[in-house]
Amino acid sequence: MDSTRKTARIVGVLFITALASSMLSGSFLGSVDDPDYLTAVSANESQLLIGVLFQLVLTASVVAIPIMMYPILKTHNVSSAIGYASARIFEGFFDALMAISLLLLLTISWKFVEAGAPKATYFQTSGAVLLAAFDWSSIVENFPYGLGALIFYYSSYRLDLIPRWLSGWGLIGGTLMIVMGLLRMFGNSVIFLAIPIILNELVLAIWLIVKGFNSSVNALDSAKMEL
């Protein structure tokens, strides 16, 4: 198996890992949405910690993808390769910040249960700040995510790395992610706008694992020599 084919499979697996860990993480964080979250978080400690672990797996996957793609994308444009890596690392930063916010919230929840009513206001304020950090990180993350998608799919279109219909789909999905981030900043719940890019990345991942990058592209021959 040549190095470019191997890279395609690894990137495909990383995309699936990122998607799966993101969805699985959310499924274990129900206590955060509980009205009495300061009590619910510590009562569901194991579930929250599992959710945090999946969040950290997401962070690692998000950062690993541009590292694997850099040698190939730079055959199109070094600035684009650096821009994609920067956007996804920035995205990973907010993923990590979400995980840290959850761990700190768990600590506050422990202290709240131990302290009882006399200091409830202090812990409620601290908990609210940490929840806000978690929520705002999830919103701001949409911007580097969307920007990274635009850079990746534009470069893929120019290099003909994948079918152009798939690149076009990704460009639409990336744009919608940026729009979603803007709308969420103003309190609009428009999570459905993420559906196109989620489906796109799933199809992309399967395509890369099964088909790999388009082998007829001359630029990939150069990439193979540099990997």
Question: For the whole model, what pTM was predicted?
Answer: 0.88
Three-class SS of the chain? CCHHHHHHHHHHHHHHHHHHHHHHHHHCCHHHHCCCHHHHHHHCHHHHHHHHHHHHHHHHHHHHHHHHHHHHHCCCCHHHHHHHHHHHHHHHHHHHHHHHHHHHHHHHHHHHHHHCHHHHHHHHHHHHHHHHHHHHHHHHCHHHHHHHHHHHHHHHHHHCCCCHHHHHHHHHHHHHHHHHHHHHHCCCCCHHHHHHHHHHHHHHHHHHHHCCCCCCCHHHHHHHHHC
Per-residue pLDDT of the chain (227 residues; tens, 9 = 90+): 578 889 999 999 999 999 999 999 999 998 888 888 888 998 999 999 999 999 999 999 999 999 999 998 888 789 999 999 999 999 999 999 999 999 999 999 988 888 765 566 778 888 899 999 999 999 999 999 999 999 999 999 988 899 999 999 999 999 999 999 999 999 898 999 999 999 999 999 999 999 999 864 444 444 444 44
Q: Output the pLDDT for position 119.
A: 63
